[in-house]
Structure 1
């Protein structure tokens, strides 16, 4: 499956069971409206999701860095994340 994003970005997701692909984590910074749309689709489809990357807070979102975030997996088991604020950098 391929997802086409702005500025010529293409994401291609592998099918489950492809042994040579290692699990990866991808985080996407989105605005609040996009988060609401994506999260609404996740909830209406029953997509399993978590507030933490370890998967100990199922069905929840987090409020890290003054925004919102949620973790979920693609069909091949890669960890995906959408966040509304960038990760805080050390000062």
Structure 2
């Protein structure tokens, strides 16, 4: 990534327990990510329990959750937790 962060993904299935990764992104990145999820028909949720199929609007921003191929919960949010 442009800020020097390196993400490496293991091929599923893995032997890791399910984890939660949260990424603070700007509004433009969130919009592009959401559009890509919608276009690819990837399921996403507004809560970590995966019970609401819509983005979350709290803390003055937006957030969504999606499962990665290894079953880990990835959260994108536009504002830090209050």
TM-score, normalised on structure 1?
A: 0.84
Shift of 1:8: 2.0
Residue aligning to 1:6? 2
Cα RMSD of the aligned pairs, angstroms, is: 0.9
> Which aligned runs of 4 or more in structure 1 are off by greater than 2 angstroms?
none
Instruction: Report the structure number with the largest CA radius of gyration.
Output: 1
Q: Which has the higher contact order (CA 8 A, sep 6+)?
A: 2
Structure with the bigger percentage of helix:
1
The alignment status of 1:56 with 2:68, answered yes or no, reads no
Q: Which runs of 5+ in 2 are unaligned?
A: none
Note the 1:2-81 alignment, pairs <5 A: 5-19=1-15, 21-58=16-53, 60-81=54-75
* Unpaired runs of at least 5, structure 1: none
